Chain A
């Protein structure tokens, strides 16, 4: 049996406390009305020439954009100055309000990104776990207890996600603009989607997805524990069928979940491969976390039956699914870039213009790095190589979720500052605490699994 070391427990709790304090600061820093925004912008202007120049450039850019939008209006050039002068007052207020919403969204979006990121890791691990059962993999049963423990976070993480979604539904934040009746009243595109995008149905769907995942996880883990004491393969067969059923349910629910929880942040935009794209992100992060936790536990001597061939296999998965993720990222990007249809391409324009570093940086982190580091078969057996790449993959996929959520919630007001980092600290601490606590609940080697002997002697 594994016992949670007090050091690890303390570290996790410190992370949670520091993160919680940072989040409180983040929420307090968010402006509450237009005057606050005015003050903040004034303070920013006093910072010096550089920021001022930047802002002016921004303003010029906004004007240019405005000009482009009006391009087809005849006589625009003559009226331009007059119209601008007349509009200035109203426009200024409108701009401030826009800014206010973005800044108010900032801490919420930070929490949302981090909460979803850690939740999707445990969901990805659960999918991987079910896949191992359904495919009757011979190499992985020694890692089942690690996977079960990581998937334990699905319950607290899922409840937090549901609470966040419900808070949005009760209008405590402006993350989902389609939840705002005023916005919907003036937006025909969203009006046409209200049959799907309405708060009660949205929350019911979330409850069904989460409930389904909780129930499947509960029974998969329970059967796996019961198999330890069983005298026949009854529970193994049961889990095989359960895992197959879960995978069917998972693919449908995960796809819809990604429309609901991520894509609906941009209710004017849609992409057909979005569900797969989010899936690949969660799958590769999940596998990476399995590898990291296994390497950690092995280094502490808790997993003597895990050899470097198991790590090699996990690293192969990290490598392969990283490339799969890139394939989907590129397929989505390239198809939209190539056809350049205005209503689709705004999604990438807003990301490339305001988020170019995280947007392209994550492709480097999630593709180039694993590609070059994990291609060599020998490197895949070296723990520190796998750990280093794993950390980079996780950072990359955090940025992936970040660039999915942030542009539609905070727009150009993004920054990776106190609220974002604190949210990662908080949920990272909680995640660590939950999964290592779950590891203490059962022996680390599953007994009586028909493939356990093969897995212990697995050699590649």
Chain B
């Protein structure tokens, strides 16, 4: 973490987007951006890598499908192949239609829940977690961009951020 950062606060998401583009063009480094709501195109403007959450979800779905197949094949076909209402329990394939609803639901269950848990873990969210909010107004109506000062001239950077339309600029010392 940079020892010194500048918090530039914008009160409009259009200004913020424009500011992000200018800051990146000027090759300053953006640490974080705090917004009260999703801003369309912000991740693209910041150059963030696309999420791989959907890929994990697909894999969890495959796992759920495999669990369902293995479970029902063992219980219904291998372990105790009972005649229940004349359903053919000689092989998995013969009784497959009866298993499909469970296979479907388990696939969705695994895909959905494990993906959500992955999301919580990756974004470090849990109950009693201490909120990392640099300015309470960013949950209401302000947009905050955190720019690393690094070895740049503070005055120049401040002037630059002011020109991008920031309503408030603060120098923060990280201890």
Please tell me if A240 contacts chain B, counting CB pairs below 8 Å: no
B100, A330: Cβ atoms under 8 Å?
yes
Please tell me if B38 contacts chain A, counting CB pairs below 8 Å: no
Which of A125-133, A143-151, A334-342, A432-440 lines the interface with chain B? A334-342
Please tell me if A375 contacts chain B, counting CB pairs below 8 Å: yes
Contact mask for chain A residues 323-336; partner B; CB cutoff 8 A; 1 contact, 0 none: 00000001001100
Residues 290-339 of A contacting B (Cβ, < 8 Å) = 330, 333-334, 337-338
Residues 179-200 of A contacting B (Cβ, < 8 Å) = none
Residues 351-405 of A contacting B (Cβ, < 8 Å) = 375, 377
A334, B100: Cβ atoms under 8 Å?
yes
Partner of A375, one of B58, B86, B97, B100: B58
Partner of A333, one of B58, B86, B97: B97
Contact mask for chain B residues 46-59; partner A; CB cutoff 8 A; 1 contact, 0 none: 00000000100010
Residues 8-57 of B contacting A (Cβ, < 8 Å) = 54
Interface residues on A, range: under 10
A338, B58: Cβ atoms under 8 Å?
no
Please tell me if B121 contacts chain A, counting CB pairs below 8 Å: no
Please tell me if B131 contacts chain A, counting CB pairs below 8 Å: no
A337, B97: Cβ atoms under 8 Å?
yes
Residues 87-134 of B contacting A (Cβ, < 8 Å) = 97-98, 100
A334, B58: Cβ atoms under 8 Å?
no
Number of A-B contacts (CB under 8 A): 12
B86, A340: Cβ atoms under 8 Å?
yes
Q: Which chain B positions have C-beta within 8 A of A334?
A: 97-98, 100
B86, A338: Cβ atoms under 8 Å?
no
B38 CB to nearest chain A CB (Å): 15
Q: Which chain B positions have C-beta within 8 A of A375?
A: 58
Q: Which chain B positions have C-beta within 8 A of A337?
A: 97
Task: Report the separation of the CA atoms of residues A136 and B54 in the bound assembly, to the nearest whole angstrom.
Answer: 30
Task: Report the separation of the CA atoms of residues A180 and B95 in the bound assembly, to the nearest whole angstrom.
Answer: 39
Closest to B41 in A: A459
Task: Report the separation of the CA atoms of residues A14 and B128 in the bound assembly, to the nearest whole angstrom.
Answer: 73
Task: Report the separation of the CA atoms of residues A334 and B98 in the bound assembly, to the nearest whole angstrom.
Answer: 7
Task: Report the separation of the CA atoms of residues A330 and B58 in the bound assembly, to the nearest whole angstrom.
Answer: 22
Task: Report the separation of the CA atoms of residues A338 and B86 in the bound assembly, to the nearest whole angstrom.
Answer: 10
Closest to A327 in B: B104
B100, A338: Cβ atoms under 8 Å?
no
A353 CB to nearest chain B CB (Å): 14
Q: Which chain A positions have C-beta within 8 A of B100?
A: 330, 334
Q: Which chain B positions have C-beta within 8 A of A330?
A: 97, 100
Closest to A335 in B: B97
Task: Report the separation of the CA atoms of residues A333 and B100 in the bound assembly, to the nearest whole angstrom.
Answer: 12
A460 CB to nearest chain B CB (Å): 11
Task: Report the separation of the CA atoms of residues A128 and B100 in the bound assembly, to the nearest whole angstrom.
Answer: 30
A355 CB to nearest chain B CB (Å): 17
Q: Which chain A positions have C-beta within 8 A of B54?
A: 377
Task: Report the separation of the CA atoms of residues A337 and B88 in the bound assembly, to the nearest whole angstrom.
Answer: 11
Closest to B87 in A: A338
Q: Which chain B positions have C-beta within 8 A of A333?
A: 97
Task: Report the separation of the CA atoms of residues A337 and B100 in the bound assembly, to the nearest whole angstrom.
Answer: 13
Q: Which chain A positions have C-beta within 8 A of B58?
A: 375
- Among the interface residues B58, B97, B98, B100, which one has the most CB atoms of the partner chain A within 10 A? B97
Task: Report the separation of the CA atoms of residues A330 and B99 in the bound assembly, to the nearest whole angstrom.
Answer: 12
B41 CB to nearest chain A CB (Å): 10
Closest to B55 in A: A376
Top 5 nearest A-B pairs (CB, nearest first) are: A334-B97, A337-B97, A338-B98, A330-B100, A334-B100
Q: Mind listing 7 A-B residue pairs with CB under 8 Å?
A: A330-B97, A330-B100, A333-B97, A334-B97, A334-B98, A340-B86, A377-B54
For the A-B complex with A334-B97, A338-B98 known, give 10 more contacts whose Cβ atoms are closer than 8 Å.
Answer: A330-B97, A330-B100, A333-B97, A334-B98, A334-B100, A337-B97, A338-B97, A340-B86, A375-B58, A377-B54
